[in-house]
Amino acid sequence: MIKTRLVKLLSHTKKYIVQMVLWQWIALLGQIAAIFSIGRMVDCILMHQMSDQVILTTFMVLVVAVAIRFLCDQMATRASFAASVDVKRILREKIYEKLLCLGASYREHVSTSEVVQMSTEGVEQLEIYFAENPIDGEKFVNQVLVNKRSRESAEKQRLNIKKKLSGNIDISNRVQKFVDCRSKDVEKREIYIVEGDSALGSVKLSRDAEYQGIMPVRGKILNCLKADYARIFKSEIITDLIRVLGCGVEIQNKHVKDLAAFDLNNLRWSKVVICTDGDVDGFQIRTLILTMLYRLTPTLIQQGYVYIAETPLFEINCGDKTWFAYSDKEKADIVKALEGKKYKIDRSKGLGENDPDMMSLTTMNPDTRRLIKVNPTDLEATREMFDVLLGNDLEGRKRFIKENGSRYLAAADIS
């Protein structure tokens, strides 16, 4: 069968082979003529019979011989190339024709059992060949691994480039309700993560638009210690927060598609300030945001970029003076100092109800605000506390509440 195919291929390229041989013979004759001309010129020089006519004739014969040699080589090369192209074209056409015939008649002539049988026989034959030729088998496996790694590396590079290019787009146009600041100096920029749209309004009016940005959180986010990565990265609130931060996530997972790998140099802010109400709901939202940062970007916490803004619980007015109390103890101390005077105590109901001057004085102004830096000294103890309070260890959480609940009973919101 193979011999028949070779004969057919040779018959198609016969004319090119004949042309190639013919041009090679003519080139050889031209080379002989050139050698003869050179020999004739040498003889005339040795016999001192040089004349203008002899020199001219010999030179012309030599030039013609060299030209014939050059042209013959070119024509022979062209014939050889045409023959090779014709062979490739014929092979390609034959293979394409066979594939068309196979594809058209495959389902009519081949059953599923026959496919399984052919596949099994092919695998067995391949195993036998690799067993008899271990060097070839090793080369084959190594090439497969090289192709796999190259494909994965190229895909990873493509995704990283896509994420970097998309990260250069203005974030304020991509994240809903995010309010950016004017400054581009990362050392000055601060991002306030606030609770809800109502807080967004008051914080926006009281901020310094030069270096303070705002990102509102719509309600309580997922508990990122209990939720799996598929749910986490489907949450728009969480992905928007990560995009606003700009540093990416410290997670290698198939569900991380549109978020870049973590790079602290890409962080857009010098401070990440969590600003929530001073009630139980505000504490829960603050804890959930901290949990998200702990699981997805723990380096921000370890390097001291995360802060908590304390908001006052009470506003105490006496005459033209005003005091702010951040706890019941501070309120009691202020009231005790005002004993005998007429004063008024107003409890803060939420950030959204605070006037801009109060927000600026107590929460936004760097000279008068209170910021708590989240900077754990014992990483192992921090991890254990997060796991106990927010993880899946229900029994451990019950045990912790039983042993330590009495310490926080006074602060519990029980009605």
Q: Is 155 a catalytic residue?
A: no
Q: Two tokens at 133?
A: 């030729």
Residue 234 tokens read as: 């489907």
pLDDT above 70 for 314: yes
Task: Say which of 250, 281, 310, 393 is annotated catalytic.
Answer: 281
Residue 195 designated active-site: yes
Residue 87's pLDDT is what? Answer: 46
Q: What is the mean pLDDT of residues 383-406?
A: 82
Distance CA 215, CA 235 (A): 15
Residues above pLDDT 70, as percent of the chain: 66
Taking the C-alpha atoms of 15, 19, 25 and 28 in order, what is their torsion angle to the nearest 10 degrees?
Answer: -150
Lowest mean per-residue pLDDT among 6-15, 116-125, 197-206: 6-15
pLDDT band with cut points at 50, 70 and 90 for residue 85: very low
**pLDDT for 315 beyond 80:** yes
Mean pLDDT in the chain?
76
CA 115 – CA 102 distance, rounded (Å):
13
Predicted local confidence at residue 268, as pLDDT: 92
Give the pLDDT confidence score for residue 389 in this predicted structure.
82
pLDDT of res. 175:
80
Exposure string of 103-126, with b = 16+ CB inside 10 Å and e = fewer, is eeeeeeeeeeeeeeeeeeeeeeee
Does 277 qualify as catalytic in the annotation?
yes
Q: Is residue 74 scored above 50 in pLDDT?
A: yes
pTM of the model: 0.59
- Sign of the torsion angle spanned by Cα atoms 26, 27, 29, 30: positive
pLDDT band of residue 25 (cuts 50, 70, 90) is low
Catalytic residue among 180, 195, 240, 315: 195
180, 190, 240, 277: which one is catalytic?
Answer: 277
* CA neighbor of 212 nearest in space, from 268, 296, 287: 268
Residue 279 annotated in active site: yes
Residue from 279, 310, 330, 384 carrying the catalytic annotation: 279
